[in-house]
Amino acid sequence: MGIIYHQNTQELHLFNSELSYIIKIQKNGGLMNLYYGKRIHDKEDFGYLQPQASRPLTVYESPGNSGYSLQYIRREYPDYGRGDFRTPAYLIRQENGSRITAFSYDSHKIYRGKKKLEGLPATYAENDEDADTLEIRLTDAVTNAVIVLSYTIFNKLPVIARHVQLINGGTQNLVLERALSASIDLPDSDYEMVYLTGAWARERHVRTRKLDHGISSIGSIRGASSAEYNPFFALKRPAATEDTGEVYGFCFIYSGNHLEQAEVDTDQNCRVSIGIHPDTFEWALTPGETFVTPEAVFVYTDYGLNAMSQTFHCLFKEHLMQSTWKDRQRPVLINNWEATEMDFTENKILDIATAAKDLGIELFVLDDGWFGGREDDTKGLGDWFVTNFDKLPEGIEGLSAKITDLGLQFGLWFEPEMVNPGTKLYDEHPDWILCPAERTPSPGRNQYVLDFTRDEVVDYIYDLMEKVLSGAHISYVKWDMNRYITECYSTGTPALSQGKTFHKYILGVYRLYEKLTLRFPDILFESCASGGARFDPGILYYAPQAWTSDDTDAVERIKIQYGTSLVYPVSSMGAHVSQVPNQQTGRCTPLKTRGDVAMFGAFGYELDITALDKEEKTAVKEQITFVKKHRLLLQHGTFYRLKSPFRENAAAWMMVSPDRTEAIAAYYNLLGTPNCRFDRLFLRGLDPDRKYHMNGSTEVYYGDELMYAGIPIPHTGVCESNVDFSSFVFYLSAL
C-alpha cells in the first residue's frame, strides 16, 4: 500500500487495496496520467497507455517531436496555450501580459501522513500510517514560478486528496487568473454525471445527465457553496446502480465560489476540473508569495453509489471533522424558530423548555430574535448582546441558567457575518460592509455582508460572540448565513488585490470558526444558511452538523435528505419534526412519518410543543425514546439508500451497525395510490447467514432472505386513500 516510484520509467503508482492512480513524468518534464481506477498490480512500465498519434491539424510540443501533442495526452495539471485546447487548471499572467507558461518536473517527495493546509479546512490523517503523500514540484524556467502538486492516498479508504501550491519564485509580479485544485483526464466519456442542485427549501435534489461532447459544469458565484449547486459530482457508468458498478466521486472542500466540470473532447476524453470558480477570482502574487488552493477529494469505487457515499461519510467523519462531537451521539433538541419566530418572551421560552424536558428532549435552542433591537428582520444583526430586557429580563446569562436548571442544555443562534443598518456596529463602522464606497449595496433580507477579509472585522465579531458564549451556559451554537454576496469589494484593499475578496472572505469565515471552536471545543456547532445553502465539506470541518433545509415538510425532506446522503453523513443532517400544516408547503403529514424521516439525522423538534394534545405528546415521547435507544445506530451506522423518491412514488433507506447485528430500515410512501402494487423492500448490508428478528417479533428471518427476497410492505386496502405519506420502520436485531 502506498506510493511507489519507478525510477527507470519515471512512473509513480499510488495505490491501496481498492484503487490505483498512475502518473508518468515525461521526458520533457510534463506530467501525464496513465491510469486512475480499480486497483491493478504494480509494475515498472505502463507507458503503453500513453496515446501517441500523428494527426493533421495537431500542434506538436516541440520541433521534430511529431506524435507527441498536448492535445491528446492525459495530463495532471494542464496549462493552456501550447497545444492543449481543453480547460486549463491554471493561468498565470506575467508582467508582459503573457499567460504562457511551461512547467516541467523538478523533483518529488513521498512521505507518510499528510500535512495541514494552513488556514483552510482539509482532510487529515491522525496517524501517519493512515495515509501517504506525494508532492511533485514543477518549475517554469522563464518566470521561475513553482507549482507543487500534492496527492494524499488514504490507506483504508478509496480516496485521493489533492491540492496545489503556486509559488512566485521569480522577480516579477504574477497574477493567478485561475488556480484550480485538481484536474484529471479520463480516457473515455461513457459516464453519467450525478450532481445535486436546488434552491431555498429544495436543496440537493439528485440530477443525472449523460456526458456528451462539450462541457457539463456546475458551480457557484454567489459567495457561498450555495443551495443551487453543491460542490460535488460523480461520474458513474450508465449501468452502475446504488450497489454495483464504477463510480468516480469528486468533492471540493470549500464553502465559497466553486467550479466542478467535466469536459468531453471530440475524441471522447473526459477532463474533470475542480476548484475555486475562476470567474470571480484573481490572485496577485508578488515575488516570494505562495497561493495554496483548497483541497479536492476523489473517491473511486466499483460497488456503486452507496459505496461512494459510505466512503465520503467515513472520510468526513474520520478524516475531516475536527469537532469533539464528530462521532458522538447528538442531543435531541428543540428549536423555537417555527413556534415563535422572533416574537417570544422569556416565559414562553421557559414554557416550551419545560414541556420539552417532560418529553425527554435534551437541548433547548433559542433561535433568531434575542439580541440588539431584533424585533423583525430589518434590525439588530451585528449587535450580539441583549438590549431588550422586556423580552429577556436577565439576558442570555439568566435565561441559560434557568434552562440548565430545568435539566436541559442551552443553545443559541448567531448570524456572525451580517449586519443590519441602524445597529451600533453599522453606525460605528459603515465601511465594514462589502461594497465600493461609490455604489449602493444591494440588500438581501434587509442585511449587508460584513467584510470578513479584514482581520479587525472578524476580531470584533469574535469578541462579541466570545463574551456571550463565555458568560452563559451554552453548549450549542447555530451559525446562520442568510444572503448571498453582491458588490464584492473590500474598501481596505488595493485595486490589484480586489480579485482576492471572495476567497479572502471565506478565509475570514474559517478564521472565525477556527478561533471559536478552539476557544470552545465542547460546544456543538451547527451551520445553517437559510437552511442548507452552505452545506459543504469546508464548513463540516468546523461544524459537524448543518441545518439541512428550512423545508421541514416530511415529504420534501425525504428528497432533500436522500440527495444530501449522496455525500454527507446522516449525523451531519439537522432534521426536525415540525407542525402541520407545514409552514413551507402547507402539507399535512402524519406525526409518525415526520418522526420517521427526522430520526435519520441529528434529530429534533421545531414546533410549539406546548400546543400538542395528550395523544401527540405521548407519540412524541415514544419517538424520543426510540431515537435515544437507537441513536448510535441511527446517526453513526452504515447508511444505504434503497429506493429513490426521484424515481418512484416511495423512498427507502437504512442504517446498519458496524458488526451487522442491528439495522433500522424505513420505507416511505409518497402519494397513496388506490389498488396499489404489492411492493417489497430489499435490504442491504446484513449478514446473509445470520438470523434476525424484526420489530421485536419472534419470527426469524435470515439476512439473505431480507436482502434478496425482501420485506413485503404492509398496505391498508384497495380503495383507501388515506395512505398518503405513510411510513414503515423495520428494526432488525440478530439472534
Q: Smallest gap, in angstroms, from Cβ of residue 335 to ligand GLA?
A: 7
Which of these is catalytic: 132, 140, 265, 480?
480
Angle, helix 591-598 to helix 554-564, in steps of 10 degrees: 10
Nearer to ligand GLA, 5 or 200 (CB): 200
By CB under 6 A, which span of 201-209, 428-436, 492-500, 527-535 interacts with ligand GLA?
527-535
Q: Is 218 helix (H, G, I), strand (E, B) or coil?
A: strand
Taking residues 482 to 521 in sequence order and writing x for each that binds ligand GLA by CB under 6 A, - otherwise, the string is x---------------------------------------
Q: Of 545, 507, 537, which Cα lies nearest the Cα of 297? A: 537
Q: Tell me if 648 sits within 8 A of 660, measured CB to CB.
A: no
* Residue 150 DSSP one-character state: E
Q: Give the up-direction half-sphere exposure of residue 55: CA atoms within 13 A in the CB hemisphere.
A: 11
Q: Which residue number is nearest to ligand GLA in terms of Cβ?
A: 368
Nearer to ligand GLA, 399 or 533 (CB): 533
Rounded to the nearest 10°, the torsion over CA 236, 134, 513, 607 is 20
Nearer to ligand GLA, 294 or 531 (CB): 531
| Cell numbers representing residue 53 in the block | 498519434
Does the protein bind ligand GLA through residue 528 (CB under 6 A)?
yes
Q: How far apart are CA 623 and CA 621, in angstroms?
A: 5
**Is residue 64 classed exposed, middle or buried when 0-12, 13-18 and 19+ CB atoms within 10 A define those classes?**
exposed
Q: Smallest gap, in angstroms, from Cβ of residue 469 to ligand GLA?
A: 18
Nearer to ligand GLA, 532 or 685 (CB): 532
Residue 446 amino acid letter: N
Q: Tell me if 544 sits within 8 A of 346, measured CB to CB.
A: no
Beta bridge partners of 83: none
Q: Tell me if 83 sits within 8 A of 61, measured CB to CB.
A: yes
Q: Smallest gap, in angstroms, from Cβ of residue 549 to ligand GLA?
A: 8
Does the protein bind ligand GLA through residue 265 (CB under 6 A)?
no
Q: Smallest gap, in angstroms, from Cβ of residue 308 to ligand GLA?
A: 28
Active-site residue 550, yes or no?
yes
Nearer to ligand GLA, 101 or 482 (CB): 482
Does the protein bind ligand GLA through residue 589 (CB under 6 A)?
no
> From the list 337, 452, 513, 725, which residue makes contact with ligand GLA (rule: CB under 6 A)?
337
Q: Of 559, 570, 703, which Cα lies nearest the Cα of 634? A: 570
670: left (phi over 0), alpha (psi -120 to 50) or beta: alpha
Does the protein bind ligand GLA through residue 368 (CB under 6 A)?
yes
Q: Smallest gap, in angstroms, from Cβ of residue 342 to ligand GLA?
A: 7
Nearer to ligand GLA, 150 or 545 (CB): 545
Q: Tell me if 729 sits within 8 A of 681, measured CB to CB.
A: no
Taking residues 457 to 486 in sequence order and writing x for each that binds ligand GLA by CB under 6 A, - otherwise, the string is -----------------------x-x----
Nearer to ligand GLA, 295 or 480 (CB): 480
Residues touching ligand GLA, count (CB under 6 A): 11
Nearer to ligand GLA, 185 or 367 (CB): 367
Beta bridge partners of 179: 90
Does the protein bind ligand GLA through residue 413 (CB under 6 A)?
yes
Q: Smallest gap, in angstroms, from Cβ of residue 596 to ligand GLA?
A: 22
Residues 6+ apart with CB under 8 A from 724: 589, 669, 670, 671, 672
Give first-to-last CA distance, the chain, whole Å.
Answer: 37
3-state DSSP percent of the chain in helix, strand and coil, to 5: 20, 30, 45
**Is residue 721 classed exposed, middle or buried when 0-12, 13-18 and 19+ CB atoms within 10 A define those classes?**
exposed
**Is residue 659 classed exposed, middle or buried when 0-12, 13-18 and 19+ CB atoms within 10 A define those classes?**
exposed
Which of these is catalytic: 79, 265, 367, 550?
550
Nearer to ligand GLA, 154 or 479 (CB): 479
Q: How far does CA 307 lie from the centroid of its chain? A: 17
> From the list 371, 547, 640, 725, which residue makes contact with ligand GLA (rule: CB under 6 A)?
547
Does the protein bind ligand GLA through residue 703 (CB under 6 A)?
no
Q: Give the up-direction half-sphere exposure of residue 189: CA atoms within 13 A in the CB hemisphere.
A: 20
Q: Is 377 helix (H, G, I), strand (E, B) or coil?
A: coil
| Cell numbers representing residue 199 in the block | 434552491
> From the list 61, 132, 246, 367, which residue makes contact with ligand GLA (rule: CB under 6 A)?
367
**Which secondary-structure segment (H or E) carries 707?**
none
Interaction with ligand GLA in 29-88: which residues (CB under 6 A)?
A: none
Does the protein bind ligand GLA through residue 426 (CB under 6 A)?
no
Active-site residue 608, yes or no?
no
By CB under 6 A, which span of 67-75, 358-366, 435-443, 525-533 interacts with ligand GLA?
525-533
By CB under 6 A, which span of 6-14, 175-183, 526-534, 607-615 interacts with ligand GLA?
526-534
Distance of CA 216 to CAs 189, 254, 601, Å? 12, 20, 32
Q: Smallest gap, in angstroms, from Cβ of residue 367 to ligand GLA?
A: 5
Nearer to ligand GLA, 318 or 368 (CB): 368
By CB under 6 A, which span of 65-73, 220-228, 524-532, 657-665 interacts with ligand GLA?
524-532
Q: Smallest gap, in angstroms, from Cβ of residue 445 to ligand GLA?
A: 8
Taking residues 549 to 588 in sequence order and writing x for each that binds ligand GLA by CB under 6 A, - otherwise, the string is -x--------------------------------------
- Residues marked active site are found at 480, 550
The site for ligand GLA (CB under 6 A) is made up of 337, 367-368, 413, 480, 482, 528, 530-531, 547, 550
